[in-house]
C-alpha cells in the first residue's frame, strides 16, 4: 500500500475528537497525542524547524532547493468531530469497488444512489468503517496527504521547489483551529488547507458563520398544584424551535442557501438549553438571521415573562472570498496543479468552513483543497485510495518551482 495510506491508517487509530465544552486549548488530550505522533513523523523525515506547541499546534518546514520561489503553506487539522465515536477504529478496505451499495456493518449501507460521488469510484479501492465510528478522513486524509508529500520531497531532492511550511492545527471542528497559529513565525506567502471532499475541489468561498446559545428559565412546581404558577422551560424551548423557518435547515438547503441548524437540546421544566449554528454566504442575510433569533427571543419573553429566554450569539468566521479576491493567483495555481494531474478542477462554494477562512482574514490567503473523501461527520464517511494518492501528486505540482 502507498505511503499516504500507511499514514492515513496510522492516524485514524489515534482518537483526537475535539470538545467545545472543556474550554481547554487544545480541547482534548487526544489531540496532543496526535500532535506528538506528527512531530515524531516529521522529525523522522528530516523536516526542519519542527515544533510541537503546548496549545496543540505542530509544524515543520521542507527546505527549498530552488531560488526565487514563494514560501507555500500547507495546513490540515488534527482533530475530528465528537458527534459520533472515533474509537475503536475498525476500518476495512473495499478493493476494486464494483459500483453497488456496500453493507459496511451495524446495519449501515453506503449507496451510490444516496452518495453519487461513489459512482466515480467504480474500479477503485475504498476505505470504510464498520458502521460504528466515523473514519476520521476529515481531516486525517488531508494530514496524511501533506505528510506523504513531505516524505516525497525529502526523498527526492531533484524535484525543484521552494520552501514548504507545514502546520497541523487543533480544534478546527469547534471553530477555533486557526486562532493561535503564529503567522509571523509561520512565514508563508500564501497557503492552502487540505480539508475538502471530492477530488478536484478548489474552494475559496464559504459560509459566513455564527453560533447561538439560548437559555430558558422556568419554574418547576408539582404538576398537581401548578396551575398559573408553573413555567415549563422545555415548552419554551419547543416554542422557540417552532418559530424558526421550517425549510431553512440543512436538510432543505443547498449551494449558497443559508440555514439555522439545531445542534443540541437539553431540557427540563426548570431549565432548557438550545444550541444553533447559523450560516449564510451572504453577510447581510446572516445578519438578518441573527436579528430574527433576537426577535424570537423577544416573543418568548413577551409570552412567558421578561428574562425567561436569554440569547447569546457569537460570530465564528466570514466568507473568505472577501479576503482571497485580491489574490486569485493562489486559486489559479491550485487549478493548474489539478490540471497537471489530469483532474478537472471545480470551484464549489463551501457549505461549511475551514481554518482557511480565519487565516485569509488574518492576512494569509488560504483556499481549501479536496482530500478524496466524502460523507464527513458520520459513520458513512469513506475515502478513496486512488484519489488520496492523486492528491499527493496534486500537492507535488502545487509546490513545484515555476
Peptide bond between residue 364 and the one before it cis (omega within 30 degrees of 0): no
State the pLDDT at residue 177.
Answer: 80
| 193 strand-pairing partners | 75, 368
pLDDT by residue for the chain (402 residues), tens only, comes to: 799 999 999 999 999 999 989 999 999 999 999 999 999 999 999 999 999 999 999 999 999 999 999 999 999 999 999 999 999 999 999 999 999 999 999 999 999 999 999 999 999 999 999 999 999 999 999 999 999 999 999 999 889 999 999 999 999 998 888 889 999 999 999 999 999 999 999 999 989 999 999 999 999 988 888 898 899 999 999 999 999 999 999 999 998 999 999 999 999 999 999 999 999 999 999 999 999 999 999 999 999 999 999 999 999 888 999 999 999 999 999 999 999 999 999 999 888 777 898 899 999 999 999 999 999 999 999 999 999 999 999 999 999 999
Residues 227, 293: contact at Cβ < 8 Å? no
State the pLDDT at residue 73.
Answer: 98
Q: How far apart are CA 46 and CA 50, in angstroms?
A: 9
State the pLDDT at residue 17.
Answer: 97
Region of residue 273 (left: phi > 0; alpha: psi -120 to 50; beta: else): beta
Q: How far apart are CA 379 and CA 110, in angstroms?
A: 10
DSSP state of 56: S
Residues 379, 129: contact at Cβ < 8 Å? yes
State the pLDDT at residue 120.
Answer: 95
Question: CA-based Rg of the chain, rounded to a whole angstrom?
Answer: 23
The cell for 62 is: 521542507
Nearest to 175 by CA among 400, 352, 40, 381: 352
State the catalytic residues.
Answer: 79, 172
Three-state DSSP state, 388: helix
Which domains are present in the chain?
A: 3-205+319-399 (3.40.630.10), 208-317 (3.30.70.360)
Burial of 123 (0-12, 13-18, 19+ CB in 10 A): exposed
> What does the DSSP assignment read for 166-204?
EEEES-GGGT-TTTT--HHHH--SEEEEE--SSTTBEE-
Nearest to 123 by CA among 401, 402, 387, 369: 387
Residue 268 neighbours by CB under 8 Å, 6+ apart: 218, 220, 233, 234
Sheet holding 190-194, edge to edge: 48-52, 58-62, 164-169, 72-77, 190-194, 368-369, 202-203
List, for residues 249-271, the tens digit of each pLDDT value. 999 999 899 999 999 999 999 99
List, for residues 107-153, the tens digit of each pLDDT value. 999 999 999 999 999 999 999 999 999 999 999 999 999 999 999 99
State the pLDDT at residue 317.
Answer: 81
> What does the DSSP assignment read for 219-257?
B---GGG-TTT-B-HHHHHHHHHHHS-TTSSGGG--TT-
Evaluate the CA torsion angle 113, 117, 122, 128 in order and state its sign.
Answer: negative
Q: Phi and psi at residue 111, in whole multiples of 5°?
A: -120, 135
Burial of 97 (0-12, 13-18, 19+ CB in 10 A): buried
List, for residues 212-229, the tens digit of each pLDDT value. 999 999 999 888 888 988
Nearest to 176 by CA among 90, 252, 77: 77
The cell for 28 is: 482534548
Amino acid at each position: 500500500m502507498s505511503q499516504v495510506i500507511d499514514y492515513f491508517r496510522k492516524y485514524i487509530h489515534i482518537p483526537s475528537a475535539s470538545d467545545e465544552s472543556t474550554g481547554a486549548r487544545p480541547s482534548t488530550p487526544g489531540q496532543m497525542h496526535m500532535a506528538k505522533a506528527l512531530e515524531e513523523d516529521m522529525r523522522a523525515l528530516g523536516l526542519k524547524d519542527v515544533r510541537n506547541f503546548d496549545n496543540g499546534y505542530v509544524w515543520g518546514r521542507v527546505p527549498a532547493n530552488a531560488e526565487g520561489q514563494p514560501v507555500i503553506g500547507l495546513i490540515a487539522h488534527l482533530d475530528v468531530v465528537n458527534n459520533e465515536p472515533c474509537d475503536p477504529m475498525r476500518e476495512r478496505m473495499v478493493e476494486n469497488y464494483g459500483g453497488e451499495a456496500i453493507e459496511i456493518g451495524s446495519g449501515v449501507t453506503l449507496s451510490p444512489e444516496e452518495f453519487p460521488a461513489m459512482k466515480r469510484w467504480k474500479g477503485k479501492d475504498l476505505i470504510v468503517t464498520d458502521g460504528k465510528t466515523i473514519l476520521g478522513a476529515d481531516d486525517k486524509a488531508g494530514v496524511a496527504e501533506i505528510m506523504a508529500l513531505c516524505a516525497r520531497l525529502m526523498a527526492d531532492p531533484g524535484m525543484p521547489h521552494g520552501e514548504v511550511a507545514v502546520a497541523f492545527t487543533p480544534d478546527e471542528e469547534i471553530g477555533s483551529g486557526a486562532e493561535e497559529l503564529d503567522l509571523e513565525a509561520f512565514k508563508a506567502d500564501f497557503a492552502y488547507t487540505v480539508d475538502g471532499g471530492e477530488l478536484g475541489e478548489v474552494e475559496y468561498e464559504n459560509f459566513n458563520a455564527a453560533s447561538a446559545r439560548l437559555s430558558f428559565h422556568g419554574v418547576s412546581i408539582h404538576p398537581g398544584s401548578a396551575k398559573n404558577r408553573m413555567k415549563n422551560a422545555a415548552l419554551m424551548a419547543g416554542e422557540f424551535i417552532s418559530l424558526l423557518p421550517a425549510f431553512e435547515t440543512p436538510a432543505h438547503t443547498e449551494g449558497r442557501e443559508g440555514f439555522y441548524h439545531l445542534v443540541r437540546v437539553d431540557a427540563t421544566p426548570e431549565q432548557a438549553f438550545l444550541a444553533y449554528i447559523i450560516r449564510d454566504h451572504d453577510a447581510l442575510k446572516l445578519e438578518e438571521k441573527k436579528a430574527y433569533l433576537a426577535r424570537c427571543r423577544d416573543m418568548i419573553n413577551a409570552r412567558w415573562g421578561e428574562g425567561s429566554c436569554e440569547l447569546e450569539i457569537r460570530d465564528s468566521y466570514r466568507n473568505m472570498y472577501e479576503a482571497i479576491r485580491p489574490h486569485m493567483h493562489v486559486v489559479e495555481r491550485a487549478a493548474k496543479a489539478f490540471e497537471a494531474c489530469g483532474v478537472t478542477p471545480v470551484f464549489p462554494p463551501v457549505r461549511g468552513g475551514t481554518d482557511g477562512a480565519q487565516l485569509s482574514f488574518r492576512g494569509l490567503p488560504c483556499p481549501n483543497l479536496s482530500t478524496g473523501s466524502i460523507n464527513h461527520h458520520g459513520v458513512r464517511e469513506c475515502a478513496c485510495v486512488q484519489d488520496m494518492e492523486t492528491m499527493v501528486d496534486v500537492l507535488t505540482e502545487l509546490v513545484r518551482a515555476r
